[in-house]
Amino acid sequence: MAKTVLVVDDDPTQRRLVQAVLEREGYAVAQAESGGEAIDRLTKGGGADVILLDMVMPRMSGLECLAEIRTAGITTPVIVLTANGGIETVVKAMQAGAQDFFVKPVSAERLLIGVRNAMQLTQLTAEVGRLKKHVSGRTTFDDLVGTSPAMRMVKSLGTRAAKSTIPVLITGESGVGKEVIARALHGVSDRAGKPFVAVNCGALPANLVESILFGHEKGSFTGASDKHLGKFMEANGGTLFLDEIGELPLDMQVKLLRVLQEGEVDPVGARRAVKVDVRIVSATNRDPARQVKEGAFREDLFYRLNVFPIEAPSLRERREDIPALIDHFIARFNVEEGRRIAGCSPETVALLTAFDWPGNVRQLENSVYRAIVLADAPFLQPHDFPAISGVSASLLPMEHGEGDREAVEGTGTNPAEPYANLPPLPDTPIRILDDRGHLRTLEDIERDLIQHAIEVYAGHMSEIARRLGIGRSTLYRKVREQGLEGILKEAG
């Protein structure tokens, strides 16, 4: 989903110039010719990811508009535009809540860098807030990404269940985010801020299940050199999340049922039971009712856990949430990897939304992670998702900048080398004149030249960029603008 930049300026020419620069980089641009119009848009749901605000406008100045925006509780980053670059003007703007300033006329490069920096600051702030909530056990259902009907149902059920200590069983396919739902349940309950302990029952060693869950005393068995509290005691006063509960051995299911009924655990080797106050949330990607029929899951335990079921939808059942999830992962991985990816191109969003995602949100998350690491343009393109788009990964650049080296798959050599000793190329079929003898437009000639280069150099973008004397990022953008993606794919 393209990021939106709101340009607030009473000069229509200035607005158009800024819009042209931003749209060329893939941003969506909204315009307002006055501070009042900008405030109306922002307070009535229009929204923006970055605001470019002129300081000198009739009726309401930029500083007055900025003050109104901040008073309304709008935290969108603001970059002010001014013809006066004096220190006093800059100080006033920063004190009023601006993140950056430009002195008119601003170069395209400075404009784009400022917008990217402002977006990165927003992402960093949001990620810090998310991590604080996660660590303190205060994640809420508002932190769950998605507004589809299926997710609204999950949030509604979860909010109701959180108001009590009723046992909750979350079902759904692998990778749908069952633990995220469990953390939100804990975060909106009266146990928020208390321990949240997650246990993957399918990963517990068979001979240590009892010790890990219920604890043991020192010397209770060979290797028990110290006392161990166990997961139930660790979660005392908070929430214990039992993931993949269907993998728990039958003998441990009996002991778990006793803990749920009596509210106390029997550590291995202990002389007496220990009282615990734990809220149980369990999850499974299997059909627990079928497991009961097959004898793989105790019926009495099933009814004890399945008091309040919540079904987490698969990603293909809520495709309308995919653009928001992509933006969420881009923001997160930008912070973690120190990247400045601005978003996804429209064709990439369409590609990812149409995909079925058998691995659900976890697969989408990992795919975006890979794309973020390898991308060399501000906006993710279909070729950044080769397993989904079908574009060969061997054609993709590995680093940034002019003259970068690109490894040929399996050889580790520079793809420019196969072309180093080519004889001079014959005259190209590119025509300078049209059918009436007039000069063709530069855009048409450029398109023919790039298409010819793609065919001659078999789609090797590093070599094409070197021969044309442009950067690879520029080349990829021109391929996209000229609609040559199909020819590039065929050449590969």
For 40-66, what is each residue's pLDDT tens digit? Answer: 999 988 889 999 999 989 889 999 999
In a domain, 129, yes or no: no
What is the pLDDT of the chain when averaged over all its residues?
86
Query: Does residue 365 have a pLDDT over 90?
Result: yes
The residue from 287, 313, 339 where one domain ends is: 313
pLDDT, tens digit, for every residue of 60-72? 999 999 999 999 9
Write down the pLDDT at residue 287: 93
Q: What's the pTM value of the predicted model, to 2 decimals?
A: 0.70
Write down the pLDDT at residue 492: 62
Q: Which of 271-285, 305-319, 444-458 has the lowest mean pLDDT?
A: 444-458
Write down the pLDDT at residue 414: 42
- Indicate if 170 and 282 belong to the same structural domain: yes
**pLDDT grade, residue 474 (50/70/90)?**
confident
Q: Which of 86-90, 176-180, 262-266, 291-295 has the lowest mean pLDDT?
A: 86-90
In a domain, 89, yes or no: yes
The residue from 67, 89, 122 where one domain ends is: 122
- Indicate if 362 and 438 belong to the same structural domain: no
- Indicate if 449 and 359 belong to the same structural domain: no
Write down the pLDDT at residue 403: 36
Q: Which of 26-35, 316-325, 453-462 has the lowest mean pLDDT?
A: 453-462
Query: Does residue 419 have a pLDDT over 60?
Result: no
Write down the pLDDT at residue 359: 96
Query: Does residue 472 have a pLDDT over 90?
Result: no
- Indicate if 162 and 269 belong to the same structural domain: yes
In a domain, 127, yes or no: no
- Indicate if 261 and 166 belong to the same structural domain: yes
- Indicate if 11 and 117 belong to the same structural domain: yes
What is the domain-level CATH number for residue 108? 3.40.50.2300
- Indicate if 355 and 399 belong to the same structural domain: no
Q: Are strands 279-284 and 274-275 parallel, antiparallel or unpaired?
A: unpaired
- Indicate if 401 and 379 belong to the same structural domain: no
The residue from 257, 278, 313 where one domain ends is: 313
Domain range for 353 is: 321-387
Number of domains forming the structure of the chain: 4
Mean pLDDT (whole number) for 188-204: 94
pLDDT, tens digit, for every residue of 76-100? 999 999 887 667 877 888 888 899 9
- Indicate if 166 and 300 belong to the same structural domain: yes
In a domain, 332, yes or no: yes
Q: Which of 163-172, 394-403, 468-477 has the lowest mean pLDDT?
A: 394-403
Q: Which of 230-234, 350-354, 392-396 has the lowest mean pLDDT?
A: 392-396
**pLDDT grade, residue 391 (50/70/90)?**
low
| Exposure letters 293-328 (e unless 16+ CB within 10 A, then b) | eeeebbeebbebbbebebebbbbebbeebbbebbbb
Query: Does residue 123 have a pLDDT over 70?
Result: yes
Report which listed range, 166-180, 224-238, 392-406, 442-456, is most confident: 166-180
Cα torsion through 144, 147, 151, 152, rounded to 10: 110
pLDDT, tens digit, for every residue of 215-274? 988 877 877 778 889 999 999 999 999 999 999 999 999 999 999 999 999 998 888 889
Does residue 416 or residue 155 have the better pLDDT? 155
What is the domain-level CATH number for residue 365? 1.10.8.60
Q: Give the phi and the psi of residue 353 in degrees, each rounded to 5.
A: -70, -30
- Indicate if 376 and 409 belong to the same structural domain: no
Query: Does residue 39 have a pLDDT over 60?
Result: yes
- Indicate if 398 and 411 belong to the same structural domain: yes
